[in-house]
């Protein structure tokens, strides 16, 4: 009877080609995964791997170019909303009051009228909401749910968790600048720059951790692990992104292209580092 027992299937790890090419994940997939994605079960937020510099940008560009029309339209909407708030700010600023005095303290107090404060708060909230929808859509697209309709952009699954992380990180980011104002010393400038760099990356890369795992602490720790393991690569990525923004920022078309890329590149880097699912068509 033993002869009729079929042989146990070979594990992919037993293959001589294992590790040379992207392998199908043998771990349970997150709800956002699909058969069209691959993952690396050897990596995790607690034990991230190395981020490949060139692949990070190429995958992000393929993600953008696959649905460039949708990304451009949503970026244009974001840009138009931002311009409207800037115009509203200009119209509500009492220019006469600002021009009537050379005292910067008086001029500053004249600018902060109740109308200005309301516009500032509303614009900040709207910008935060749009940015979260961008982040969620990018991660869904990379994780196996392509951005094929505008309704996909406004799917709110995971919104609350990403919002909470965004608020916490935004508050933490303000601390170095407060210290810089209170202690205008070169040491504080260096500390503020380092903390701002780490937390900016944290803000971008923690989105996926919050979508899958939930919890502010887990998101911050996952981001810290990725940054600590790839600090030099990430500095290089941010330098290149800065140059791209400088070049693309010269035209309107360049701006609407740069907007989603600024979210896609860090998202790709985080997903690769933690072994999260990625669309095979983008590889």
Two structure tokens written together for 235: 């500095």
Are 69 and 251 in contact by the 8 Å Cβ rule? The answer is no
Query: Is residue 95 pLDDT above 90, yes or no?
Result: no
pLDDT (tens digit per residue) in 211-242: 565 677 777 778 888 888 888 898 899 899 99
Two structure tokens written together for 233: 């690569």
Report the SS3 class of residue 66: helix
168: exposed, middle or buried (Cβ count in 10 Å: 0-12, 13-18, 19+): middle
Two structure tokens written together for 225: 């692990």
Listed in sequence order, the residues at least 6 apart from 58 whose beta carbon sits closer than 8 Å to its beta carbon are none
What confidence score (pLDDT) does residue 66 get? 92
Instruction: Tell me if 127 is assigned to some domain.
Output: yes
The 8-class DSSP code of residue 278 comes to E
Mean pLDDT across the stretch 54-67?
93
Mean pLDDT across the stretch 249-266?
92
Alpha carbons 19 and 13: distance in angstroms, whole number:
8
Instruction: Tell me if 159 is assigned to some domain.
Output: yes
Instruction: Tell me if 5 is assigned to some domain.
Output: no
**Which residues span the domain enclosing 84?**
43-144+151-275
Two structure tokens written together for 155: 């799917």
Strand partners, 18: 21
Instruction: Tell me if 163 is assigned to some domain.
Output: yes
Instruction: Tell me if 4 is assigned to some domain.
Output: no
Q: How many distinct structural domains can be found in the chain? A: 1
Instruction: Tell me if 31 is assigned to some domain.
Output: no
Listed in sequence order, the residues at least 6 apart from 176 whose beta carbon sits closer than 8 Å to its beta carbon are 188, 191, 192, 195, 196
Instruction: Tell me if 2 is assigned to some domain.
Output: no
70: number of Cβ within 10 Å = 20
Alpha carbons 40 and 36: distance in angstroms, whole number:
14
Q: How many CA atoms lie within 13 A of 7 on its CB side?
A: 3
Instruction: Tell me if 85 is assigned to some domain.
Output: yes
Query: Is residue 166 pLDDT above 70, yes or no?
Result: yes
């Amino acid at each position: 009877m033993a002869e009729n027992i079929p042989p146990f299937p070979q594990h992919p790890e037993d293959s001589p080609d294992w590790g040379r090419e992207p392998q199908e994940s043998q771990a349970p997939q997150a709800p956002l995964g699909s058969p069209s994605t691959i993952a690396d079960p050897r990596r995790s937020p607690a034990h991230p791997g190395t981020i490949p510099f060139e692949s990070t940008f190429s995958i992000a560009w393929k993600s953008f170019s696959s649905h460039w029309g949708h990304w451009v339209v949503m970026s244009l909407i974001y840009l138009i909303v931002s311009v409207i708030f800037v115009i509203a700010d200009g119209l509500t600023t009492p220019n006469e009051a600002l021009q009537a005095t050379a005292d910067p303290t008086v001029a500053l107090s004249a600018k902060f009228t109740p109308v200005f404060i309301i516009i500032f708060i509303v614009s900040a909230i709207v910008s935060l909401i749009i940015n979260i929808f961008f982040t969620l859509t990018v991660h869904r697209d990379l994780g196996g749910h392509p951005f094929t309709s505008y309704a996909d952009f406004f799917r709110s699954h995971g919104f609350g968790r990403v919002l909470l992380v965004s608020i916490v990180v935004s508050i933490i980011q303000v601390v170095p600048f407060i210290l810089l104002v209170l202690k205008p010393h070169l040491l504080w400038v260096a500390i503020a720059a380092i903390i701002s760099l780490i937390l900016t990356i944290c803000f971008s890369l923690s989105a996926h951790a919050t979508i899958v795992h939930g919890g502010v602490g887990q998101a911050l720790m996952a981001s810290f692990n990725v940054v600590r393991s790839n600090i030099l690569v990430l500095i290089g990525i941010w330098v290149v992104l800065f140059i791209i923004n400088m070049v693309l920022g010269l035209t309107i078309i360049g701006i609407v292209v740069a907007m989603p890329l600024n979210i896609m590149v860090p998202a790709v880097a985080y997903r690769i580092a933690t072994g999260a699912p990625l669309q095979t068509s983008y590889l």
